[in-house]
Structure 1
Amino acid sequence: MMRVFKTLDELNVWDDTIIIFTSDHGDQVGSHGLRSKGPWNYQETMRFRSYMKIPANQSRN
């Protein structure tokens, strides 16, 4: 992501760019004795990483 951020800054568009980055949640990978996504509500399948950057001059509405 830092490479993208640096390029946006070098192109002088950082302050005009909205960035939304998200990822998929993971499988259980053996946690709780399970190996699939399944219908279980454990942290391993419910949490995911995300990042959002909105320019200061952009309305949030």
Structure 2
Amino acid sequence: MANGPWRKSSRSGGGSGSNCVEARLSDEGPQLSDSKLADDRPILEIGRSEYVGVLSAIKNDRLC
């Protein structure tokens, strides 16, 4: 499996703006990134259980 496509968070305001959180699956596991930094953005690699926890927190408005 190669790196999958980046997917934008629906909570990032939509549209063509560059201020969004993105996620993808890769050979190493789930990855998160902030697109507003373009090509210089850091890519955070996390474990699958942490990824599920982050998604749950976002969906339940537990992140500030």
TM-score interval w.r.t. the shorter chain? under 0.3
Q: TM-score normalised to the size of structure 2?
A: 0.23
Q: Relative CO higher for 1 or 2, CA cutoff 8 Å, sep ≥ 6?
A: 1
Q: TM-score normalised to the size of structure 1?
A: 0.24
- Of Structure 1 and Structure 2, the greater strand share is in 2
